[in-house]
Amino acid sequence: MERYICKYSYIPLIFTTFGPLNYKNMKSTALSEVHIELGAKMAEFAGYNMPIVYTSIKEEHDAVRNNLGVFDVSHMGEFMVEGADAAKLIQKVTSNDVSKLVDGQAQYSCLPNEDGGIVDDLLIYRFNEEKYMLIVNASNIDKDWNWITKHNDTSATMSNVSDNYTLLAVQGPKAAEALQCLTEVDIINQKYYTFSVGQFAGIDNVIISATGYTGSGGFEIYVKNEDAKALWDKVFEAGREAGILPIGLAARDTLRLEMGFCLYGNDINDNTSPLEAGLGWITKLKTDDFVGKDKILAVKERGIKRRLIGFEMIDRGIPRHDYLIVDENENEIGIVTSGTQSPSLGKAIGLGYVDIAFKDPDSKIYIQVRNKKIKAKVVKFPFYKN
């Protein structure tokens, strides 16, 4: 996921203020007018006019943690990779082991660059041995497309279908029960990181994926744009008794941060190694060579010098992106990448890179906030535990 930019300066987290929006140049999702009619505060993200908050971040956050909420994340990118060499191409450009996938399974991975940094993080869906779908971050669609195309020396064919699909993330502990009435697919028993294709809400060929970015369970539903409004209406009808709410990108960020999930553009980027970011579990160095593998191996052999950690504030203060992290003697030891006041925990939390000596839980660190040294401690992920 990427860094969000919002004009509403009262919204916390990693949002940054900026000048007047140029609405003429912004793209709309198939549901942008729906969000506006619902009173959502809208802002530009990755070139799209997106809902940031409808009522309040806390109300929307709590709805997903305890009940049910719906995000429009149709700005995300979708690439189809097909043909006899589809898996070969994906294995070449991604860090995880695509050969472990079976039909109907999804996989989290990243696109390493030639220096061992991260072009993007993404999801890989396997329909069959010759058909895959890649889900990439909205602000990286063109970048990722060009990167994969550059390295496609196989017979695999690629198609960018990003503008054709609407994606709803229906998240929360009541999602499966509420949505089951909309399909004959057994979603109640659908396993995490698997997906099905079937009829949903009376719409054919819907992709129903047991994935999400909140840590509270739920599904990501892909339909063609022409069916988006019908899907939205049916989902809200089905979830009415569960207290379903529309959710903006601000609460999406507090939810993912409580789980310690990386946000592209903040916690990972072209200059971060997946090993530094704690993504060694999706970096399979015993697979066939992939782009940047030699550089990642070199990092592993010499040992990483910094590590992405989670921390919670002991003293009062909200950590923000790019705040310095220092030791007791005010020596600079790292930098904050994401931070917020956690709605679920009632305390300030954050992510950041620190010198390797400070990576262990309970290590005392300090965040520089307006020239003051604010005490914090390193903690294990996730911050929020169900």
Is the confidence at residue 20, as pLDDT, over 80?
A: no
Last residue of a domain, one of 259, 278, 294: 259
Within-domain flag for 271: no
pLDDT tens string 216-231? 999 999 999 999 999 9
200 and 53 in a common domain: yes
Residue 297 belongs to a domain: no
Determine, yes or no, domain membership for 295. Answer: no
Q: pLDDT confidence of 23, banded at 50, 70, 90?
A: low
C-alpha separations of 83 from 5, 131, 155 in Å: 38, 7, 7
Same domain, 60 and 182: yes
CB neighbour list of residue 351: distance below 8 Å, 6 or more residues apart:
257, 260, 262, 266, 267, 308, 309, 310, 311, 336, 337, 338, 339
Whether residues 203 and 249 share a domain: the answer is yes
Q: Are 107 and 227 contained in the same domain?
A: no
Last residue of a domain, one of 102, 131, 161: 161
**By the 8 A CB rule, do 226 and 165 touch?**
no
Would residue 171 count as lying in a domain?
A: yes
Residues 168 and 253 in one domain: yes
pLDDT tens readout for residues 101-128: 999 999 999 999 999 999 999 999 999 9
pLDDT surpasses 60 at 41: yes
Residue 185 lies in a domain: yes
**Confidence band for 13, pLDDT divided at 50, 70 and 90:** very low
Q: Are 267 and 308 in contact, with CB atoms under 8 Å apart?
A: yes
Q: What is the pLDDT of residues 247-279, one digit of tens each?
A: 999 999 999 999 999 999 999 999 999 999 999
Q: CATH no. for residue 133?
A: 3.30.70.1400
Residue range 316-327, pLDDT digits in tens = 999 999 999 999
The dihedral through the CA atoms of 146, 147, 152, 157 has a sign that is negative
- Amino acid 19: pLDDT: 35
Alpha-helical (H) ranges within 53-156 are 57-66, 86-93, 141-150
CATH code of 184's domain: 3.30.1360.120
149 and 84 within one domain:
yes
Segments forming the whole domain that contains residue 90 = 77-161
Does the pLDDT of residue 12 top 90, yes or no?
A: no
Instruction: Tell me the mean pLDDT in the region 55-77.
Output: 98
Looking at the structure, do residues 140 and 85 belong to the same domain, yes or no? yes
Same domain assignment for residues 68 and 186: yes
The one-letter amino acid code at 176 reads A
Per the domain annotation, does 272 fall within a domain? no
CA 92, chain centre distance (Å) = 22
Q: pLDDT for 129-187, tens place per residue? A: 999 999 999 999 999 999 999 999 999 999 999 999 999 999 999 999 999 999 999 99
State the total domains in the chain: 3
Q: Is residue 46 located within the same domain as residue 86?
A: no
Q: Residues 91, 53: one domain?
A: no
Same domain, yes or no: 41 and 168: yes
Mean pLDDT on 7-27: 49
What's the burial of 25, exposed, middle or buried (CB within 10 Å: 0-12/13-18/19+)?
exposed
**Are 66 and 137 in the same domain?**
no
